[in-house]
Structure 1
Amino acid sequence: MFKIATWNVNSLRVRLPQVLDWLKKLEPDIVALQETKMTDNQFPREAIQAAGYHVIFSGQKTYNGVALLSRLEGSEIITDLPDLDDPQRRFLGATYANNLRVLNVYVPNGGAVNSDKYHYKLNWLKKLQDYVRESLKDYPHLIVLGDFNIAHEDRDVHDAWDSDLIVSPPERAALEDLLSLGLDDTFRLFEQAPEDYSWWDYRRGAFWRNQGLRIDLILASTALDCTACVIDSAPRRLERPSDHAPVVASFD
């Protein structure tokens, strides 16, 4: 049995004490972090290793940045999606025990529907889909997790959401195409409470009013036996929290 989690920390420099405390409480086997927002030479490798985790990271100054923390060391590391010339640090893959392949993604936000950033997002998702399709041939045990910046269904969006972004048909179709390769949205494998979200805007008291989105996902190949998936909203209640909550899935 193993436990894997994803958490957009929105600055690891700010949130490091929260992350270390959370690791101690939850004891996950693998954690995917997004928006670390630091260069590789700034990454707090020693602190995370002292907590009992190996770490792989790919960062850049001020924006983006992804990392994988794991009890066991990863191999076959990849930091760029093939056939995508992109300086933004949004992707990280590694292989773990029992040939488990893990892909950590921070999907672009998209800016505004039909903007250049939006088309960049759709192209990025197409390259991800291509890579996942090929990866499943060699790694039937595959997990793709992270901040997808897509709310899959209307029930993943609060009623007051007033933007076409995150919910537009092309974005949702791209996520459907990814799932159709043979992946499950693990959160939806189980009965969940209504209005269960993973992101809330910092403004207008959105968290306390539960005006959120479910955009942080753990997608797992159907060959894996997922036994639970939950959103841990407790870190969002802390002082100076990330605007995202961790999502945690367990597997036999």
Structure 2
Amino acid sequence: MKNLRIATFNVNGLRARLPNLLEWLKREQPDIVCLQELKSLDSAFPATELGAAGYGAIWHGQAAWNGVAILARDAQPLESRRGLPGDPEDKHSRYLEAAVHGVLVGCLYLPNGNPQPGPKFDYKLAWFERLIAYAKDLQSSDHPVVLAGDYNVVPTDMDIYNTRSWLKDALLQPESRECYQRLLDQGWTDSLRHLYPEERLYTFWDYFRQHWQSNSGLRIDHLLLNPALSPYLYEAGVDAWVRNEPHASDHAPTWIRIGSRKKR
């Protein structure tokens, strides 16, 4: 196993945030990056700029919303899947998978589900069920696997500054949380919570009511590791400084470090 820094980052519009992304890549130099919410067609993906920064990439874009990509430092991701199985009518660009630096990487952007109740929440839960079904084989694989992305789920009340204003939001609904827990119950390790079981860690601060300035955040970006990879986990964190930059995304990059030897 290589020493790797693996990150997930909802950029909230790739073209608009490209300078922010490039600055973060230059400063932090992650080895593997999962991006979400590209909000652009495949033809608009900045492959040239990312290549000049030292990153190979694959991507699955969509006009105006959604979109996912996987970046590899000094390498080219080898695509293994585009889109979740289970619904041939689903045209949303929300899942991309590739082999990168010896790890199978699933990059996902789970539906937000608002407003709820309604068809958007129904779609969220149906997509979650498809993910749970597909993830079962990945979890039991002898190959190291990470499922990284914006899950649009606040797993517990510890993962939000205050539930009061969010009680009706799809991110906190019992059905959403139950789906996430069922995924974990397959045997996945929630990296940040595993290393920081008692700490409030946030990955998202919306643009309203000075939530960034008051650290009123949510933890909705997760990196789940299968048993073949989780023993190598030794560090995790959030690059919160990115959220403080001009024209920032409302998410900050969330990352883990994987060591070359199993943690004892």
Give the residue type in structure 1 aligned to 2:145: L
Gaps in structure 1 of 5+ consecutive residues:
none
**Among residues 196, 200, 208, which one is paired with 1:203 in the alignment?**
208
> Offset at 1:232?
1.1
Verify: 1:150 aligned to 2:153, yes or no: yes
Counterpart of 2:256 in structure 1 is 249
1:55–1:151 distance in 2 versus 1, CA, 3 Å: same
- Given residue 250 of structure 1, which amino acid in structure 2 is its aligned partner? R
**2:155 & 2:12 partners in 1: Cα distance?**
22
Q: Which segment drifts farther, 156-165 or 85-94?
A: 156-165
Find the partner of 2:106 among 103, 119, 124: 103
Please list, as runs of the form range in 1=range in 2, the aligned pairs for 1:58-207 lying within 5 A after superposition: 58-71=60-73, 72-85=75-88, 86-98=90-102, 100-159=103-162, 160-164=164-168, 165-191=170-196, 194-207=199-212
Deviation for aligned residue 1:135? 2.6
Query: If the length of structure 2 is used for normalisation, what is the TM-score?
Result: 0.91
Matched, 1:221 2:226: yes
Matches within 5 A, 1:13-52: 13-52=15-54
> How far does residue 96 in structure 1 lie from its aligned partner after superposition?
2.3
SS in structure 2 at match of 1:197: coil
Q: What SS does the corresponding residue of 2:209 show, helix, strand or coil?
A: helix
How far 1:95 moved relative to its partner? 1.3
Q: Is the 8 A contact 2:129 2:179 kept in 1?
A: yes
Checking the alignment, whether the CA contact within 8 Å between 2:47 and 2:57 is kept in structure 1 is: yes
SS at 2:166's partner residue?
Answer: coil
Q: Secondary structure at the match of 2:172?
A: coil
Aligned-partner Cα distance in 2 for 1:139–1:93: 17
Check 1:221–1:138 CA distance in 2 against 1; reply closer, same or farther (3 A cut): closer
| CA RMSD in angstroms, aligned pairs only | 1.4
Q: Partner of 2:69: helix, strand, or coil?
A: strand
Structure 2 CA distance, aligned partners of 1:4 and 1:81? 22
**SS state of the match for residue 128, structure 2?**
helix
SS in 2 for 1:95: strand
User: Please, which runs of 5 or more residues in structure 2 have no aligned partner?
Assistant: 260-264
Structure 1 length-normalised TM: 0.95
Residue by residue over 1:125-180, the C-alpha shift from the partner in whole angstroms, topping out at 9 and shown as x without a partner, is 11111111123344531100100000011100121433332111111111111111
**Letter paired with 1:185:** D
Q: 2:165 aligns to what SS in structure 1?
A: coil
Contact 1:101 1:139 in 2 (8 A): no
CA distance in 2, matches of 1:102, 1:250: 14
Specify the SS of the correspondent of 2:38.
Answer: coil
C-alpha distance in 1, partners of 2:120/2:213?
A: 30
SS where residue 227 of structure 1 aligns?
strand
C-alpha distance in structure 2 between counterparts of 1:73 and 1:139, whole Å: 23
Distance in 2 (alpha carbons) for counterparts of 1:103 and 1:39: 20
